[in-house]
Amino acid sequence: MRNLVKYVGIGLLVLGLAACDNNDSKTPTAGAAAESNASGQPVNLLDGKVSFSLPADMTDQSGKVGTQANNMHVYSDATGQKAVIVIVGENTADDLAALATRLEEQQRARDPQLQVVTNKSIEIKDHTLQQLDTVISAKGQTSYSSVILGKVDNQLLTMQITLPADNQQQAQTAAENIINTLTIK
C-alpha cells in the first residue's frame, strides 16, 4: 500500500509540475485537438491482460519522468497537461473501496477544496474495479482526475487519468472515453 501511495504521489507531482509549466507554444489548435481525440492508439500492459486506447495526441513518456521502475507507465500530450499514469504494484489485502477512500483522504489533505465527483465500483469483463473521480486545484490550475483501482493477476493496478478541468464536463467525457476502452483479460 505504501508503494501505491508513493507512486500516486509521484504521479501527482509530475502532473502538478507539468500543469505549472504554462508552455503554451505547443498547444494545438482546437481543430487539431478534436481530430486527435477522434482516433485512439492502443496500449497493452501485463502481457496483453490490460489494454486501453489513448487519444492520438498522447505519447509514451515512461522513460522521461526520471524513474527506472518498469511498473509505472506514463502517457501525456505535448503540454503535459493531459496525462495517463498506470502503476502495477504489489497486491494488498485491503478492498478497493477502502483503497479509494484512503486515496481520497490523501488528496483532500493536499487540497482541502477537493471536489469528489464519484467514488463507485465498476465492472469490466468480470473484474470489479473502483473509480474515484475528483477535481483538484493547485496553484491556480484545476484538473479533473479519474483514478481506477483494480486487482489483476495478484497485482494492484492503478490507472490515473488527469486532464485540465477548464471545462469539467468535457474533461469528464474525455476521461470516460479512455475508461470505456479499458479491457481486462
Could you read off the pLDDT of 69-128 as tens digits, one per residue? 568 899 999 988 999 999 999 999 999 999 999 999 999 998 888 999 999 999 988 899
Average pLDDT over residues 53-77: 80
> Where along the chain do its domains lie?
2-20+39-184
Q: Which three cell numbers stand for residue 29?
A: 489548435
Per the model's pLDDT, the better-predicted residue between 33 and 65 turns out to be: 65
With 90 as the cut, is the pLDDT of residue 47 above it? no
pLDDT at 45 over 60: yes
The strand pair at 83-90 and 50-55 is best described as unpaired
Q: How far is CA 121 from CA 15, 98, 141, in A?
A: 25, 11, 28
Can you give the pLDDT at residue 65? 58
Of 11-15, 22-26, 45-49, 62-66, minimum mean pLDDT range: 22-26
Q: Are 100 and 120 in contact (CB under 8 A)?
A: no
- DSSP code for 125: T
The helix (run of H) or strand (run of E) holding residue 89 is strand 83-90
| pLDDT for residue 60 is more than 60 | yes
Per DSSP, the three-state class of 51 is strand
- What is the edge-to-edge ordering of all strands in the sheet holding 127-138? 59-60, 72-76, 83-90, 155-164, 141-152, 127-138, 115-124
Instruction: Give the C-alpha separation, 75 to 55, whole Å.
Output: 10
**Residues 135, 142: contact at Cβ < 8 Å?**
yes
The overall average pLDDT reported for the chain is 80
pLDDT confidence tier of residue 67, bands split at 50, 70 and 90: low
Give the mean pLDDT of 152-164: 93
d(CA 139, CA 148): 25
Instruction: Please identify, in words, the CATH class of the domain defined by 2-20+39-184.
Output: alpha beta
**CA 164/CA 170 separation, integer angstroms:** 9
- Alpha helices by DSSP H, 51-166: 96-110
C-alpha cell at 178: 479512455
Cβ distance 133 to 115 under 8 Å? no
